[in-house]
Structures are given as structure tokens and as C-alpha cells.
Amino acid sequence: MEMTAKDLAAALGGTVEGDPEARVNSFAKIEHGKPGQISFFANPKYEQYVYTSKASILLVNNDFKPSTPVTPTLVRVPDAYAALARLLNIAAGKDKQYRRHRGRCRIAWSAKLGSHVWIGDFVTIGKQCRIGDMTRICDNVTIGEGTVIGKQCIIYPGVHIFPGTVIGDRVILHAGCIIGDDGFGNARQPDGSWQKIEHLGNVIIGSDVEVGSNTTIDRAPMESTIIHDGVRIDNLCQIAHNVVVGKNTAMAALTGIAGSAIIGEGCIFGGQVGINGHITIADNTTVAAKSLVIGRIRKGGESWYGNPAILHKDYLKAYAKFKRSAEEDAA
């Protein structure tokens, strides 16, 4: 990517303050910026770097007022962070070159591929699959029979998608994730042994979803495990069978959701959160890192902490009593 300040302003709907011909060809954090690079400033705690940055161009919010002269050319936009995300997408798009496929892959004759589909080496696409326009499938991906993948998706290396999976548009599946494998279902027998429960359902993933590396989303024994539009799932998460994750929910790495849990819209889960099975989590619930939710959360918009998780305000009260008790014992 190589763009001038005026090109960036035109692409991002911004205005230039400084040299409109300032040119950049790479990105850098504001504290590391060098000539020829573009950085951004959105968080006030990094303002000190605005005045020391050597980057050629700096994305800033429209309402930013520098207290001293600034060396980089400023491109002012309504939201610098959102503008950076858009710019990264533009840069990534410029580097894509689409091809039908190489010879070192196996595609069933009955599979239907849209226009400008990119397929890497050692890819397997099963019978009756449908792949949307401009979707990119990287090396060593396996796509099971009857799977449907929408437009402009990116399937990174080593992803395994099991038969019958349905994936919407603009979905990103990062390296090594497993979509649609059997859930952990076993029935205890009278003699103490376990009988495997066959899983005949599938996984449905909406549009604009991103799933991190080595995350697993299990298919259901019956019906579907569902990930709604706009969900963000980090690396190394486990989504069990029959789980439903609501629109625009986000979860950090190592989150585990047990079978048949229903997660509302707009929820945020920190790292290593555990959600018990067969419970419902209300919309816009926040669960702090390493917390364990063992029961239903009925009221939305609240924050939960601890193991087992309790309301944030109750957690703070309990922690204060615990700390005071420890101090008294030590005295």
C-alpha cells in the first residue's frame, strides 16, 4: 500500500492538515512511527506520542486540539480507530489476487464455486458444497459435504469444516479452527460405561463473524449450534453443541460455553470465562475474566465477577470484607 495524505482523506472522508502530498507505505503504532509510515491517535493516554512521533501521517479525531506543534501531517476523521480499521481492510484488499484453484486440491464435481474464488494447495471441497463470490480458501482446508459458505469469506490454513455447515457472508475463520465436529455427548450405561450420542445436526454461522485460531464450535445432536451475525470469538475457545450466541457478542481467548447455553446479544466475556450448560444469559451482559457463570442471568446490562460469578457491586463488597478480615487477622 502506498497512499498520499489527500488520497487517505478522500478514502476515509477526512480532511488534511499539513502536507497533502505526504506519502506512506506501511503502518506503525504511534510510539514507533517513522517516516513513510502512518499511525493513529484515539486514546488520550497516548497523547504524549503525538508530539514525538516521526510518522509521516497521523490519523486523529476531528475534535483533537494539539497543545504544541505536531510534526506529522494530520488526517482528521470522525473516528480515528474506525478509520484505521477501514484503512487496514483497504490495504488488505489491494494485495489480494484471485484465482480459481491450483492443481493440488480436490474439489467434487457437484460443488459450485462463485466468481473470483481463491483456493490454495491441498484443499478438499466435498459434494454439493456452495462457495460464494470472492471467498478465499487457504492451504490445507477441508470443507465437508453439503457445506454452504457465503461471499467474501476468508478461510485460513488448516481449518476443518464438517458436513452440513452453513456460513454467511464476510466470515473470517482463522487457522486451525474446527467447525461442526461432534459435541461431547455420552450417555451413562447401567454397567458404568459410556454410550456415545451421535450428532446429526449442524453449525450455522451468520454474516460478519470472526472465529479465532484453534477455536472449536461443535455441531448439535439435533437441530443447530448457532452463531449469529457480528459475533467475535477469540483464539482457543470452546462452543459446545446446541449453544446459541446472540448478535454482536464478543468473547476473549479460552472462553468455554457448555452445551445448550443461550447467550444474548451484545454480551462481552473476558478471557477464560466459563458458562454452564442449559442456562440463558441476558443481552449486554459483561462477564469478567476467569469468572464462572453457573446459573441463569435474567437482567441485561449488568457485570458479573468471580467464581461462581456474582454481580460486580456484590463482588466488590465481598472483596472489601475479605480484605479487611485478612488485615485484622494479620494485625
Contact status, residue 282 vs residue 246, Cβ threshold 8 Å: no
Spell out the residues 6+ positions from residue 329 whose beta carbon is closer than 8 angstroms to its own.
none
Contact status, residue 124 vs residue 143, Cβ threshold 8 Å: yes
Q: Which of 228, 241, 278, 312 is catalytic?
A: 241
Residue 211: strand, helix, or coil: strand
Rounded CA-CA distance 288/3 in Å is 41
Contact status, residue 187 vs residue 221, Cβ threshold 8 Å: no
DSSP-derived secondary structure for 271-311: TT-EE-TT-EE-TT-EE-TT-EE-S-B-SSS-EEETTTTEE
Residue 154: strand, helix, or coil: strand
Rounded CA-CA distance 163/168 in Å is 15
Concerning whether 241 is annotated as a catalytic residue, the answer is yes
Rounded CA-CA distance 267/96 in Å is 33
Q: What amino acid positions are annotated as catalytic residues?
A: 241
